[in-house]
């Protein structure tokens, strides 16, 4: 869900000067350094469409997005940098892009897909720079038993093997 303000572009197509993504990232990080919000992603797309995603451990409000949008507008010069600006929060079930998002979801049920195509669900136990530790429920049949039982197994998956991971929203 996109929240915040969208500022229309005055760009006439191929004559736009591309805004540097690193410049935008630096401006945002300077602004967010004094808060508990953090930058998840910034992209500068064709036509100078700047898309910014921010997050916070306790959620992001529309006012937070609007404040960052206004700040960015005050730091960019419309005379030299023609752009469209979208500032929003990450979606609740959007794939994680930063280590902080993984850590925010410790203790929650997540879904992840490995690069080999295997999809799993489990409880995120922890995350560090190397990967994630998850608790997975498995049905196993003990030797000599008639029925399967559910057991919890701990697994580690390095980030370089994970295609995506995201929070699972369940309504009970």
Tokens in use for 171?
Answer: 């309504």
SS3 1: coil
Q: 3-state class of 30 per DSSP?
A: helix
What is the distance between the alpha carbons of residues 44 and 113, in angstroms, rounded to a whole number?
27
Q: Are residues 85 and 109 in the same domain?
A: no
Cβ-contact 50, 85 below 8 angstroms:
yes
Domain span at residue 122 reads 99-167
pLDDT of residue 12 exceeding 60:
no
Tell me which residue has tokens 């960015």: 72
Mean per-residue pLDDT for 29-37? 93
Please tell me whether residues 25 and 74 are part of one structural domain: yes
Confidence of residue 13 (pLDDT cuts 50, 70, 90): very low
Query: What is the pLDDT, as a whole number, of residue 1?
Result: 44
Residue 83, both tokens? 């752009």
pLDDT digit string, tens, across residues 75-124: 998 778 788 999 999 988 899 999 999 999 999 999 999 999 999 999 99
User: Does residue 146 lie in a domain region?
Assistant: yes
Please report, for the domain that includes residue 35, its CATH number. 3.30.300
Which of 29, 59, 89 lies at the terminal end of a domain, its last residue?
Answer: 89
């Amino acid at each position: 869900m996109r929240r915040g303000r969208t500022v229309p572009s005055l760009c006439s197509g191929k004559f736009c000067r591309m805004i540097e993504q690193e410049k935008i990232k630096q401006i945002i990080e300077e602004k967010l350094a004094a808060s508990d919000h953090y930058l998840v992603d910034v992209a500068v797309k064709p036509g100078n469409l700047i898309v910014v995603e921010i997050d916070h451990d306790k959620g992001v409000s529309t006012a937070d997005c609007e404040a960052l949008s206004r700040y960015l507008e005050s730091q960019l010069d419309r005379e030299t940098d023609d752009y469209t600006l979208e500032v929003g929060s990450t979606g609740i079930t959007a794939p994680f892009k930063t280590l902080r998002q993984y850590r925010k979801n410790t203790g929650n049920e997540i879904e992840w897909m490995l690069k080999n195509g295997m999809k799993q669900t489990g409880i995120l136990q922890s995350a560090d720079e190397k990967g994630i530790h998850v608790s997975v429920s498995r049905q196993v049949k003990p030797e000599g038993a008639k029925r399967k039982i559910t057991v919890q197994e701990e697994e580690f998956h390095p980030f370089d093997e994970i295609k995506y991971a995201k929070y699972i929203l369940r309504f009970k």
